[in-house]
Amino acid sequence: HPVRRLPRDHTSHVKYRIGVVVGVALGSVCAYPFLFGVDDDSTTEGGRHFRHFLGLEWKPCQDAKLVVHVLMLYLGSIVDNVLFIIRRGGGLGSWAKSTVESMKYIFQDEENSRWIWMRNLLFAPAAEEVVFRACMVTPLLASGISPTKVAWVTPLFFGVAHLHHFWESFRHLPSDQRTASNIKRLVILLMFQFTYTTLFGAYASHVFLRTGSLCGVILAHCTCNYMGLPDPRFVGYRGIDKWIVGVSYLIGIWMFIRAFDSSIFPARSLIPELLGM
């Protein structure tokens, strides 16, 4: 298709990709009851409607707690931003204003930027979680694979699905820049991206298994895409700020790990329980 030869962030390419992934996600959901249902009412074994296994539940409190859980990993980034605002002489009002301005940027009039943000923060997270969590976790679990293995197997599909970024980057390199050093750089970026997408996929699969909430994992994914990777620039700070941000990251990681055994998650894993495991 001619659109596929355009740069990844070209508006036409973005719209085309959004249409494709939304179509795949909707097709996966529509096919689910025919593949895994056992009667005309689209119920699965045990009489549960298939939507329960897809995580199509209304759990706003649970979903909000999952966003808080993800934000624990970004405690250092949040503290870093607060210190930056304080150094500029601002306060809570200044922070709120900058947050609102950043959100306005997402919906600014420039069409290309708006579609890129919609892809990154809405369509991509939603479609990926529908396909790689909702439509894969339960069938794999029902096939006899343990929950732990399912949580680590499904992210491999998720990670492989991002390998095309290497080809996209390589394809748009001018022929005179396709040197060994540039290809090596692209391979390193590819492996790094595969690693963090796989790790996030393992977290999202674990969350889906425990909460049975598709909306929750979508919100967690959106939050991670909005926040991005933690910024290591604090390492170059001078004085106490460097230690404050660094310790905040460590505290956030500790809180994140400890929270797996807290009230943020249900006492029992809901998807395995639905399957009678």
Is there a catalytic annotation at residue 101?
A: no
- Pair of tokens at residue 201: 């996929």
Q: How far apart are the first and last CA of the chain?
A: 46
Burial (CB count <10 Å: 0-12, 13-18, 19+), residue 180 = exposed
What number of other Cβ atoms are within 10 A of residue 156's Cβ?
A: 15
Residue-wise burial string across 74-109, b where 16 or more C-beta atoms lie within 10 A, e elsewhere: bbbbbbbbbbebeeeeeeeeebeeeeeeeeeeeeee
Angle between helices 75-87 and 240-258 (to 10 degrees): 150
In angstroms, the Cα distances linking 34 to 30, 38, 41, 47, 156 are: 8, 8, 10, 15, 25
Angle between helices 75-87 and 60-72 (to 10 degrees): 70
Which residue in the list 10, 49, 52, 162 is annotated as catalytic? Answer: 162
* CA within 13 Å, CB half, 253: 6
Given the structure tokens 């759990």, which residue do they identify? Answer: 59
Which residue in the list 69, 128, 129, 221 is annotated as catalytic? Answer: 128
Residues 215, 63 contacting (CB under 8 angstroms) = yes
Is there a catalytic annotation at residue 162?
A: yes
Which of the residues are catalytic? 128, 162
